[in-house]
Amino acid sequence: MQNLFNFEYTERELLNADGSKSNFRQVFGLDGVNMACPKGSYHIVKTEDVSALGHAFLDKGMDVKTFNHRNGEVIGLNVDFGKKPNKVGECKYNLLITIPNNGGGKGYLSIKQQRLICTNGMVSNKTMHKDNYIKIPHTWNYKESINLMEQSIGGFTSLLEQLENKDTFFNGQKLNETDAMFQLNKWFYEQEMPTNHKKQFSFNDFRKTLAVCPSDIKSIERYNQLKNAFKKELDYNTNLDLDLSMYTVFASVTNYLSRRVEQSASKASEEVKFERASKKLSFFDNIA
């Protein structure tokens, strides 16, 4: 069975200063780069094992891509679950299976939702589903891959249901434009404005400066990008016959973050960049 990744980890024992064996070892990832020095008991999940899980999805007729971050510190699978109608517009969904091999914890499931009308993307792994975190077996065979695939599909279904419920809830929270801009301003101030840019600004100071002298705000260029995203979402509302709502605010933020990811010079994989950006959506957790 072909390894879907283009590398495999190698390991080397680390010795104490006196030449005796230590409880640590050196792990090399892609291109032979040292990526971790874990204790002897820490389980490194081989790429060939994650690849076997990918083949289980492939055998089910799904499109599967691999990703890795920092020469294998994190590896994963991106499984295409196709398009699905949604009350706020047709969306495309992908299941992300992320395996930290740098001591970062258990493997976990995420779902990427992309709204097709505006290509907004966001990643969520918040769920009450018991299988959101997946335990990778120390010994692996194809039967284990099938079981883990079925477990992963169960987690995906739970995440999808929660996303759809959230979209419907936000779409039901009708707003006028003043209230929508208040929420956008609050999100920007709390989540996006660099800390060293707001040392002299309370939230109310920030709102006042926007109205009186916006050029005094150091991150005004970013803020203008957010406003442009909001204007685009108002146009999409017209096309889809949607009212202005909390979903419009949410979509404006994901539109803004998606464009920021596209413009990013980071060498991280797209999956990792979207997961990082989506952490800024925690603002909406209390609303939902």
Does 218 share its domain with 115? no
24 lies in some domain:
no
Supply the range of the domain harboring residue 147: 43-159
248 lies in some domain:
yes
Average pLDDT over residues 166-183: 96
Does 154 share its domain with 236? no
**Which of 139, 159, 179 is the last residue before a domain boundary?**
159
Does 148 share its domain with 77? yes
Does 174 share its domain with 277? yes
Does 192 share its domain with 249? yes
Residue 22 near residue 64, CB atoms below 8 Å: no
- Residue closest to 112 by CA, chosen among 281, 278, 287: 278
**Region for 95 from its dihedrals, namely left if φ exceeds 0, alpha if ψ lies in -120 to 50, beta otherwise:** beta
Using the predicted structure, report yes or no on whether residue 288 has a pLDDT greater than 70. no
Does 119 share its domain with 184? no
265 lies in some domain:
yes
**Which of 106, 134, 159 is the last residue before a domain boundary?**
159
Q: Which helix (H) or strand (E) holds 278?
A: helix 270-278
- The more confidently predicted of residues 136 and 204 is 204
Torsion of CA 272, 261, 158, 143, to 10 degrees: -30
56 lies in some domain:
yes
Share of the chain above pLDDT 70, in %: 92
β-strand 74-84 against 91-100: which pairing, if any? antiparallel
Q: What is the pLDDT of residue 131?
A: 46
- The total number of structural domains in the chain stands at 2
**Which of 159, 184, 211 is the last residue before a domain boundary?**
159
Does 188 share its domain with 244? yes
Does 73 share its domain with 181? no
Q: What is the pLDDT of residue 130?
A: 45
Does 142 share its domain with 242? no
Does 103 share its domain with 174? no
Does 247 share its domain with 181? yes
pLDDT digits (tens, 9 = 90+) for 248-270: 999 999 999 999 999 999 999 99
Q: Which helix (H) or strand (E) holds 51?
A: helix 47-59
Average pLDDT over residues 228-246: 96
Using the predicted structure, report yes or no on whether residue 134 has a pLDDT greater than 80. no
β-strand 34-36 against 63-69: which pairing, if any? unpaired
11 lies in some domain:
no
Neighbours of 172 (CB within 10 A): 12
Residue 14 near residue 24, CB atoms below 8 Å: yes
Q: What angle do CA 236, 240, 244 make, to 5 degrees?
A: 65
- Residue closest to 102 by CA, chosen among 152, 44, 147, 153: 44
- How far is 202 from 18, CA to CA, in rounded Å? 58
3 lies in some domain:
no
26 lies in some domain:
no
Using the predicted structure, report yes or no on whether residue 281 has a pLDDT greater than 70. yes
Confidence of residue 173 (pLDDT cuts 50, 70, 90): very high
Confidence of residue 103 (pLDDT cuts 50, 70, 90): confident
- Report the amino acid identity of residue 25: R
Q: What is the pLDDT of residue 234?
A: 96
Confidence of residue 82 (pLDDT cuts 50, 70, 90): very high
- Report the amino acid identity of residue 227: K
Q: Is 263 exposed, middle or buried (0-12, 13-18, 19+ CB in 10 A)?
A: exposed
Q: What is the pLDDT of residue 124?
A: 66
Tokens for 76, please give them. Answer: 């994963």
Q: What is the pLDDT of residue 129?
A: 41
Does 185 share its domain with 273? yes
- Return mean pLDDT, the chain: 89
274 to 52, 73, 109: CA distances (angstroms): 25, 17, 14
Average pLDDT over residues 175-201: 94
137 lies in some domain:
yes
